[in-house]
Structure 1
Amino acid sequence: MIPIRETSAGVSFSVKVQPRARKNGITGTVGDALKLALTAPPVEGRANQAVIEFFADFFQIARSSVTIASGESSRFKVIRVSGISAGQVHQCLVRHIAE
């Protein structure tokens, strides 16, 4: 499982984004990062917006609770989620992997 860090600003974890994929979804891990496939192209911030929308829906929280802490112009990003604990993030990921 990937490292999930809990800070005063929320929970953060690393993601490697694969834009222009066939469908949206978590497809595995790459090193210490989740691998996230997105149909959105990496143009005009569309892939970044898709990352935020994906994790807001995935964790069932408001889009304003999900931010890209670093890596806005890179495939490797650090995602910060507020309003949810590291344990809840871990449970959601484990449940998704088990499906």
Structure 2
Amino acid sequence: MWVEPMKDGIRLRLRVSPGSRRSGFGGLVDSGARLAIRVSAPPVGGEANKAVEALLAKALGIPKNRVVIVRGLRSRKKTARVKGDPEALAAAASQLQEMG
């Protein structure tokens, strides 16, 4: 499952495509294990990671500082941690797979 509830938030498993024409969500990939995300930022100097954090924060309606890439900083396969109410965040995150 690409959304994992935690004590103080959720963990999201992602597959990121940097350098895309448009930023957005692309549905589930890897047999439903990850959410595909496209960002226009290049994979240089952490720009794509910052763009992923900003895109997730905007889509979930939360401040940017509550979203952090915790695994896969130099990989397309990433894990993000989102701080907040786990139930509310999981419900909001489940809508992201339909935005692709």
**TM-score, normalising length from structure 1?**
0.86
Query: What are structure 2's unaligned runs of at least 5 residues?
Result: none
1:23 partner SS: coil
Counterpart contact for 1:67–1:81, Cα < 8 Å: yes
Give the aligned partner of residue 38 of structure 2: 37
2:75 is aligned with 1:74? yes
- Structure 1 runs (4+) deviating above 4 angstroms are none
Percent identity reads 29
**TM-score, normalising length from structure 2?**
0.85
Aligned residues: 98
Give the aligned partner of residue 49 of structure 2: 48
Structure 1 12/20 Cα, relative in aligned 2: closer, same or farther at 3 Å? same
Structure 1 6/95 Cα, relative in aligned 2: closer, same or farther at 3 Å? closer
- What does 1:78-93 align with in structure 2 at a 5 Å threshold? 78-93=79-94
Query: What are structure 1's unaligned runs of at least 5 residues?
Result: none
Alpha-carbon distance in 1 for matches of 2:99, 2:53:
23
Give the aligned partner of residue 14 of structure 1: 13
> Which amino acid is the alignment partner of residue 70 of structure 1?
R
2:3 is aligned with 1:4? yes
Moved more, 17-26 or 5-14: 5-14
